[in-house]
Structure 1
Amino acid sequence: MGIRFGAFQAVADTSLDVAPGEFLCLLGPSGCGKSTVLSAIAGFEQASEGDVRVDGERVTAPRRDTGVVFQSTEALFDWMTIRDNVAYGPRMRGVAKARRAEIVQEYLNLVGLGHTADKYPSQLSGGMRQRAQIARVLANEPRLVLMDEPFGALDAQTREVMQRELDRIWRARRCTVVFVTHDIGEAILLADRVAVMSAGPSAGIKSVYDVDLPRPRDETSREFALLHQRLRDDISQEVRAALRAQGADVEEEL
């Protein structure tokens, strides 16, 4: 697959398979095209070369069976209660009111927000709003969930809690997840596999790592540290390449 914006080749010659129920992280330097790839999977962008397929069907527009969790904690409808935000998708799908109420309660409980159902987004913390956004996506029972640096706007402590919460939620539901991040530790904590992208322009998948560590993962373990170092070395090569392409005087090795 390739994605071009006019004469600019953002992504080139990229091929990647994601298995049903897998948690895959896309990792790479800033500006390498991670979010562009995610947008193509979501149907927001169209491939210029090749195509994107979900369950064998070509993606040409946003799909009802694909949910997207955005980076911003402001993605909820601020004029709706948390209950109504989570109920929005099922209501648009014509789910009966009684069943809709069951779905909302199930997913709010899953993300630990059952007590906030009648509050508005402005009354919640950033981490709580992001959990509500995850509940809103999961309430549609998507086969594929796409997450574009969903914890990037959170403080370090809240981000750590949210990473653990997402791991717990994913293990409870086992939907397919493609998660964009630039945080190596976050990728190892969450992913079954980590796909590293090369520096742009004309970025692509450089390497793929299996994360064969038991869940929940221990950041202090030797195995975690070794994989972190391997990924750091791999990403550092791409960061240096990106900086040199921008005219920076960067040494070949750190």
Structure 2
Amino acid sequence: MAAAPVVRSPADAARGVGVRLDEVGIRFGAFDAVQGISLDIADGEFLCLLGPSGCGKSTLLSALAGFHVPAEGSVTVDGVPVEGPGPDRGMVFQGTEALFDWLTVAQNVTFGPRMRGVPKAERDRIADEYLKLVGLGHCHDRFPGQLSGGMRQRVQIARVLANRPRLILMDEPFGALDSQTREVLQRETDRIWRTSGCTVVFVTHDIGEAILLADRVAVMTAGPAASIKAVYTVELDRPRDPTSPEALDLAARLRADIREEVRKTLRDQGLDEVSDENGSLP
């Protein structure tokens, strides 16, 4: 009889994986979403994609997940071309609709292992381990509808981690949450990332969130045909103080980059002067 799959503890989890985007262009019909994107992401790095609305951040994340095939260039994970979704990559969405309301929290977390034929005793161990990691060890038998929005997002993160991906893709996972819950989950995400050892690519509109979490922040230009405008290394000790002079200085530089891109978009629409006069630009 074959031995049951072995799931190591999060502290002993596999290290993250390197990612490379080489001159990536993605189109939807005649619309160029992103163009000429080149970026190397190191093993175990936490990279944030930041930019104005509609610049293609989520589109780029979907290409890493294998949901979109680039029209140009290539996407590789651990040196292997991405040709579709795979268990080495886990996606955490902004909303929690991806959870199955008819399954308990533990059953949601172990859905992937169950589909792979992992025995129940091992699945129970996986649920216990990863729910404890995200602070929900007391919620095994609850259903998603019985949890707050922040708790449901923790379940979604635990479900991704239960598949032991080497790359986690997070698409504005806290965008719909209140500010207090969001702050808690930002700190938890930092802790979970350091514990799991995964590589993380995190999409956000929030400059403070990017500074709090990222090793590097890649700022995208406004779309269409968006590209990488600048990449900043966040040289701040963890845990980070967003009110420190260094953090505030970086925030100002990121804000200036995004403001410039927003103004380009407004100028193309003939709106820049009106917006400046009304003081509506950041």
Do they superpose with TM above 0.5?
Answer: yes
Picking from 127, 130, 135, the partner of 1:112 is 135
Q: Partner of 2:69: helix, strand, or coil?
A: coil
Compute the displacement of 1:183 (Å).
0.3
Kept after mapping to 2: 8 A contact 1:73/1:153: no
**CA RMSD of superposed structures (Å):** 1.3
Compute the displacement of 1:177 (Å).
0.3
Compute the displacement of 1:197 (Å).
0.2
Indicate the structure with greater strand content.
Answer: 2
Q: Partner of 1:12: helix, strand, or coil?
A: strand
Instruction: Tell me how far apart the structure 2 counterparts of residues 105 and 114 of structure 1 sit (CA, whole Å).
Output: 6
In the alignment, what sits opposite 1:93?
Answer: 116
Picking from 19, 30, 33, the partner of 2:56 is 33
Q: Deviations over 1:143-199 (max 9, x none)?
A: 000000000010111111110111111111120000000100000000000000000
In the alignment, what sits opposite 1:58?
Answer: 81
Q: 2:109 is aligned with what amino acid? A: V
In the alignment, what sits opposite 2:246?
Answer: 223
Aligned-pair identity in percent equals 70
Instruction: Tell me how far apart the structure 2 counterparts of residues 242 and 182 of structure 1 sit (CA, whole Å).
Output: 16
Picking from 64, 69, 73, the partner of 2:92 is 69
Compute the displacement of 1:247 (Å).
3.3
In the alignment, what sits opposite 1:16?
Answer: 39
Compute the displacement of 1:231 (Å).
0.7
In the alignment, what sits opposite 2:6?
Answer: none
Instruction: Tell me how far apart the structure 1 counterparts of residues 80 and 266 of structure 2 sit (CA, whole Å).
Output: 38
- State which drifts further: 89-98 or 200-209: 89-98
Q: 2:182 is aligned with what amino acid? A: R
Compute the displacement of 1:113 (Å).
0.4
In the alignment, what sits opposite 1:157?
Answer: 180
Aligned residues: 254
What pairs up with 1:103-142 in 2 under 5 angstroms?
A: 103-142=126-165
What pairs up with 1:184-195 in 2 under 5 angstroms?
A: 184-195=207-218
Instruction: Tell me how far apart the structure 2 counterparts of residues 193 and 246 of structure 1 sit (CA, whole Å).
Output: 32
Compute the displacement of 1:59 (Å).
0.7
Tell me the TM-score normalised to structure 1 length: 0.97
Q: Partner of 2:38: helix, strand, or coil?
A: coil
Instruction: Tell me how far apart the structure 1 counterparts of residues 58 and 259 of structure 2 sit (CA, whole Å).
Output: 19
In the alignment, what sits opposite 1:197?
Answer: 220
Q: Partner of 1:24: helix, strand, or coil?
A: strand
Q: 1:68 is aligned with what amino acid? A: M
Compute the displacement of 1:245 (Å).
2.3
Q: Partner of 2:72: helix, strand, or coil?
A: coil
In the alignment, what sits opposite 2:261?
Answer: 238
Q: Partner of 2:48: helix, strand, or coil?
A: strand
Q: 1:70 is aligned with what amino acid? A: F
Q: Where does the alignment leave 5 or more consecutive residues of structure 2 unmatched?
A: 1-23
Kept after mapping to 1: 8 A contact 2:104/2:141: yes
Q: Deviations over 1:52-84 (max 9, x none)?
A: 111111111101110000000232111100000
> Which structure has the larger Rg?
2
Q: Where does the alignment leave 5 or more consecutive residues of structure 1 unmatched?
A: none
Instruction: Tell me how far apart the structure 1 counterparts of residues 264 and 223 of structure 2 sit (CA, whole Å).
Output: 9
Kept after mapping to 2: 8 A contact 1:197/1:203: yes
Instruction: Tell me how far apart the structure 2 counterparts of residues 55 and 243 of structure 1 sit (CA, whole Å).
Output: 39
